[in-house]
A and B are shown apart, each in its own frame.
Chain A
Amino acid sequence: MPRKEIEGDWVMGWPDRKRYRLSPSKDQEGRTIHARTPFLELEGLITPTDAYYIVAQLQMPEPVHPDDYSFEIFGEVENPVTYTLGDLRKLPGHTVRAVTECAGDDTEFWDYLESRAKGGNMPKPSRTVREDVEGVDWHGMAESGALDLEELSSLIPATCIVSGGEWTGTRLREVLERVGIKDSAVAIRVEGFDRGRPDPTIQYRSVGRTDFEVHDPGVINYDKGLPIEKAMDSETILAWAHNGEYLTHVHGAPVRMVVPGWAGNWWVKWIHKIEVMDRMPDCYHQTHYFVSGKEPNDPDKEMMTALGVKTVITEPLEEESPLPADTYAIRGLAWSGEGAMVRVEVSTDNGETWNDAHIEEHADRYLWRRWSYLWDAKPGYHTLMSRGTDEEGRRQPVTEWNFQRKHFDGIVPVDIEIE
C-alpha cells in the first residue's frame, strides 16, 4: 500500500500541510456542540485549540461577557465571597499542562477486546475522524424513538475524545483558603451555567443497550462534587486561559475547572457557583452517570475519578498495512490519571515478549508523553502492542470493566503485515 498522501491546504496564503480542524456537530444556530480530536493527524503534545475535543453533557449555555462575569463561593466557609474574573486574575497564577480525556473515550474497545479474545469478528473501532460523518446530531434520539445504537456507534465512534492542553488560571486552593473553608468541608460542589434535562441517549449510548431505566433528575445545572483532597491539590485550577489565549466559550469561558488526571467530566465548564459542603453531594453526573459497577442496578456503584494508565500506538496503523520490510519507529502517546508515565513497553509478537520504548521526558506529570520504539520489521504477520507504567507503579490496564464502559485503558493490538 502506498504511503498515505499528505493533504494540502492554503495557510495564510501559502501552500502548506492541511491544518486539522474540528468537524463538529452543530445545533440549528450553527453553534458547535460536539467535536472529536483527530489526534492521529497531529504532532507534539499540545492539541491546537481549534482541534480540541468538545463534549457538553447538557445544553451549552449562552456566553457571559467577561466584564459581567462573577461566581459565588459559599457553604462551609468563614467568608462567602463573590469573585469577578478581575478578582480571580489578581490571585497568584498557575499554569498546568495536562491531558483532557472524556470518560467515554474508546468505549467500544471494551467490546472489541472481548470479541477478539473470543475469536469474534467485531470490527476494530476507528480512531480516524471522518469529516463527512461528524455532523450527525444524535441528541434526543432516545426520546424520539429513533435511537439505533449500532448505527450511532458506526457513525460517531466514541474515540478521539482526548486532547492535550495548557491551562492558565489560579489554584482552586488559593480561592478556598481565602474564603476560609471550615474543617467540616468534605466536598466542593462546582456548578456550571449549563443547564438542561440529561438526555438518556447519552447513557444508552454509553452502556450500549436500552433495556434499563435511566434516572431522570429533571432540569438541572451541571455540577460535580470534587472531594476536598483533589480540590486542594496544587494542580487543580480555575482556568481562564487555554493554549496561550483566553478561554473560548465552547471550552468553558469565562472560567472552568481543570482537574488534571481526572476524566473530562470533572473539568466543570462555565463556572457559576462553588459550594463548600460537609458531605458528598448527590450530583446526577456523579451518582447516576460516570459511575462504576457491573450493571445498572449494581448497589455498589461508585463515582469514577482518576483516569487509568493508557498507551496508544499512533504509528504504524492497520490502514498502512502491508508495509515493506524495513526499520520502523513504533510511536505513540502515554498518559495516566495518577501522575507521570515512567515506562512504556512494546511487544511486536502479540504480547509474548516486551521491550522498553524510549519515553520523551518532560516536567508535566499529567500531560501525555510521546514514546517510540525502533522495530526491525521482518516479513510476516505481526501484532504490535504497547503497555505503560506510571510513577505510582500502576501498569496498564488498571480499569475494570464497568457497565457504562468508562475509562477504557486496555491494551489495543495493531495487526501489521510485513511483505
Chain B
Amino acid sequence: MHIAVCIKQIPDPEIAPSLFRVDEDAKQVIVVPGMSPVISPFDEQAVEAALRVRDAMGEEAEVRVTALTIGDESARRILKHVLALGADDAVMMSDPAFADSDGYATAYALSKAIAKLGAVDLVLAGRQAADFDAGMVGPGLAELLGVPAITFARKIDVVDGAVRVVRVLGDGSETVEAPLPALVTVSHEMGNVRNASLRETMRAAKKPVEAWAPADIGVDAGDVGAKAARRTLERLYVPVSDAQCEFVEGDGAQAVASALARRLVEEKIV
C-alpha cells in the first residue's frame, strides 16, 4: 500500500500578530528574521494520520508513506522533518516554475507528481494550509486524480480495500467510507503528533529527497506555477481591527444592566 501526503511550508502561525507584515506592493508576506517557517500544522497531522495507518496495518501490509511538497529550496527542512517522523520517501518540487502557484496550479502539479509515483492508494493532506486557509488543494487534487474526497478527518482506518473516516462536523462527527484510491483531508482533531526519535532522525539523514522539475512530472513549465494560476490576487493586506471599549455605568446592577441593554439596542447589536 502506498500513501502520499501533501505538505506545505508556511510562516510560523505562532508568530505574534504585531510582528506579522505583508509587502502590499509585491503582494507577499514579509519573512520575519529569526522566525523559521514551519510545516503547516494540519499537514503535520496528515503525516501523523499516514503513520498511524501504517502502524495499524502492520509490517505485512508493507505500507509506504511518501511526502510531497511544492516550495523553494528551504522547504527541504520540512521534508527532512517528516522523514524523521517516519515517512519513507520525500519529493520536493522547488523549480522556480512552480513559484506563486494558486490552489488550482498546486493541485495540478501535485496530481501529476502523484501520477508519477505510480499506484498510490491513499492521498492525505491537511484540511487547509494554515497560512491562507483556502482549503482548496485537497478537494481540487481529488478532482484532478478522479478519486473520492473525504474532508475534515479526525480518524482514518483502512479496512478491506476501503478507507473509513470519522470526519468532524459542526456539531459532532460522522463516519463515512470510500473505496481506495481516495483522498482524505485531515483536521487538527486527529490529535497530537509524534515526536521524532533520534534513531529515526539518523535514518532520515540517509533517505534521499527527490527533486522534481516540471519535465519530471510530464508537464511544461507554463502549465504550473504563476503561469497556470486561475486566481488573480487583487490585494494582500493586514486588516485593521478597531476595538473600542466603553464602560457602562449605573447605580446598581439593575441600572447597569438596563443601560447596557439600551446601548446594545442603540448599536443594533441585539
Shortest C-beta distance, A35 to chain B (Å), equals: 15
Q: Is A18 in the interface zone, CB < 8 Å from B?
A: yes
Q: Assess whether A7 is in contact with B196, with CB atoms less than 8 Å apart.
A: yes
Q: Is A299 in the interface zone, CB < 8 Å from B?
A: no
Shortest C-beta distance, B32 to chain A (Å), equals: 9
Q: Assess whether B195 is in contact with A7, with CB atoms less than 8 Å apart.
A: yes
Q: Is B54 in the interface zone, CB < 8 Å from A?
A: no
Q: Assess whether A15 is in contact with B16, with CB atoms less than 8 Å apart.
A: no
User: Inside 8 A of A28's CB, which chain B residues have their CB?
Assistant: 16-18
User: Inside 8 A of A14's CB, which chain B residues have their CB?
Assistant: 205
Q: Assess whether B16 is in contact with A5, with CB atoms less than 8 Å apart.
A: no
Report Cα–Cα, A18/B80, bound state, in Å: 14
Q: Assess whether A7 is in contact with B197, with CB atoms less than 8 Å apart.
A: yes
Within 8 A of A (CB), among B195-211: 195-202, 204-205
> How many residues belonging to A are interface residues under a CB distance threshold of 8 Å?
18
Q: Assess whether B199 is in contact with A6, with CB atoms less than 8 Å apart.
A: yes
Contacts known (A26-B16, A29-B16); A10 close to B81, Cβ less than 8 A? yes
Q: Is B243 in the interface zone, CB < 8 Å from A?
A: no
Q: Assess whether B18 is in contact with A5, with CB atoms less than 8 Å apart.
A: no
Contacts known (A28-B18, A132-B192); A17 close to B198, Cβ less than 8 A? yes
For the complex, would chain B's binding face be called helix, strand, loop or mixed by DSSP majority? helix
Query: What are the interface flags for A1-30 relative to B under an 8 Å C-beta threshold, 1 for contact and 0 otherwise?
Result: 000011111100011111000000011111
User: Inside 8 A of A29's CB, which chain B residues have their CB?
Assistant: 16, 18-19
Contacts known (A15-B84, A132-B192); A8 close to B201, Cβ less than 8 A? yes
Tell which of B18, B77, B196 touches A30, judged by Cβ atoms closer than 8 Å.
B18
User: Inside 8 A of A18's CB, which chain B residues have their CB?
Assistant: 195-196, 198
Query: What are the interface flags for B60-82 relative to A under an 8 Å C-beta threshold, 1 for contact and 0 otherwise?
Result: 00000000000000000100110
Tell which of B16, B192, B202 touches A8, judged by Cβ atoms closer than 8 Å.
B202
Q: Is B215 in the interface zone, CB < 8 Å from A?
A: no
User: Inside 8 A of B202's CB, which chain A residues have their CB?
Assistant: 8, 15
Report Cα–Cα, A14/B84, bound state, in Å: 12
Shortest C-beta distance, B5 to chain A (Å), equals: 19
> Considering residues A6, A14, A15, which has the most beta carbons from chain B within 10 angstroms of its beta carbon?
A15
24 contacts between A and B (CB under 8 A): A5-B195, A7-B195, A7-B196, A7-B197, A7-B198, A8-B84, A8-B197, A8-B200, A8-B201, A8-B202, A9-B84, A9-B196, A10-B77, A10-B80, A15-B84, A15-B202, A26-B16, A27-B16, A28-B16, A28-B17, A29-B16, A29-B19, A30-B16, A30-B18
Tell which of A15, A26, A30, A31 touches B201, judged by Cβ atoms closer than 8 Å.
A15
User: Inside 8 A of A5's CB, which chain B residues have their CB?
Assistant: 195, 197-199
Q: Assess whether B19 is in contact with A30, with CB atoms less than 8 Å apart.
A: yes
Q: Assess whether A8 is in contact with B198, with CB atoms less than 8 Å apart.
A: yes
Q: Is B240 in the interface zone, CB < 8 Å from A?
A: no
Chain A residue with minimal CB distance to B80? A10
Give the top 5 A-B pairs by smallest Cβ distance, nearest first.
A8-B201, A30-B16, A8-B198, A15-B201, A6-B198
> Considering residues B19, B195, B204, which has the most beta carbons from chain A within 10 angstroms of its beta carbon?
B195
> How many residues belonging to B are interface residues under a CB distance threshold of 8 Å?
20
Shortest C-beta distance, A143 to chain B (Å), equals: 16
Query: What are the interface flags for B176-201 relative to A under an 8 Å C-beta threshold, 1 for contact and 0 otherwise?
Result: 00000000000000001001111111
User: Inside 8 A of B81's CB, which chain A residues have their CB?
Assistant: 10
Within 8 A of A (CB), among B13-35: 15-19
Report Cα–Cα, A15/B198, bound state, in Å: 7
Q: Assess whether B84 is in contact with A10, with CB atoms less than 8 Å apart.
A: yes
Tell which of A16, A26, A27 touches B198, judged by Cβ atoms closer than 8 Å.
A16
Q: Assess whether B16 is in contact with A10, with CB atoms less than 8 Å apart.
A: no
Shortest C-beta distance, B97 to chain A (Å), equals: 27
- Extra contacts, 7 of them, besides A10-B84, A15-B205, A28-B18 (Cβ < 8 A), are A6-B198, A6-B199, A10-B77, A16-B201, A18-B198, A31-B16, A132-B192
Shortest C-beta distance, B261 to chain A (Å), equals: 22
Shortest C-beta distance, B17 to chain A (Å), equals: 8
Report Cα–Cα, A368/B196, bound state, in Å: 31
Report Cα–Cα, A132/B81, bound state, in Å: 19
Chain A residue with minimal CB distance to B203? A15
Report Cα–Cα, A298/B195, bound state, in Å: 49
User: Inside 8 A of A27's CB, which chain B residues have their CB?
Assistant: 16
Shortest C-beta distance, B208 to chain A (Å), equals: 14
Shortest C-beta distance, B55 to chain A (Å), equals: 14
Report Cα–Cα, A307/B98, bound state, in Å: 61
Within 8 A of A (CB), among B93-147: none
Report Cα–Cα, A288/B247, bound state, in Å: 33
Within 8 A of B (CB), among A73-87: none
Chain B residue with minimal CB distance to A11? B201
User: Inside 8 A of A9's CB, which chain B residues have their CB?
Assistant: 84, 196, 201
User: Inside 8 A of A10's CB, which chain B residues have their CB?
Assistant: 77, 80-81, 84, 201
Shortest C-beta distance, A319 to chain B (Å), equals: 15
Chain B residue with minimal CB distance to A7? B195
Shortest C-beta distance, B24 to chain A (Å), equals: 22
Q: Assess whether B196 is in contact with A8, with CB atoms less than 8 Å apart.
A: yes
Shortest C-beta distance, B203 to chain A (Å), equals: 8
Chain A residue with minimal CB distance to B197? A5
Report Cα–Cα, A144/B37, bound state, in Å: 35
Contacts known (A6-B198, A7-B196, A8-B199); A15 close to B204, Cβ less than 8 A? yes
Query: What are the interface flags for A91-125 relative to B under an 8 Å C-beta threshold, 1 for contact and 0 otherwise?
Result: 00000000000000000000000000000000000
Shortest C-beta distance, B90 to chain A (Å), equals: 14
Report Cα–Cα, A114/B17, bound state, in Å: 45
User: Inside 8 A of B84's CB, which chain A residues have their CB?
Assistant: 8-10, 15
Shortest C-beta distance, B191 to chain A (Å), equals: 11
Report Cα–Cα, A28/B81, bound state, in Å: 28
Shortest C-beta distance, B238 to chain A (Å), equals: 15
> Considering residues B15, B84, B198, which has the most beta carbons from chain A within 10 angstroms of its beta carbon?
B198
Chain A residue with minimal CB distance to B17? A28
Q: Assess whether B77 is in contact with A6, with CB atoms less than 8 Å apart.
A: no
Shortest C-beta distance, B245 to chain A (Å), equals: 14
User: Inside 8 A of B195's CB, which chain A residues have their CB?
Assistant: 5, 7, 18
Report Cα–Cα, A7/B16, bound state, in Å: 28
User: Inside 8 A of A17's CB, which chain B residues have their CB?
Assistant: 198
User: Inside 8 A of B198's CB, which chain A residues have their CB?
Assistant: 5-8, 15-18
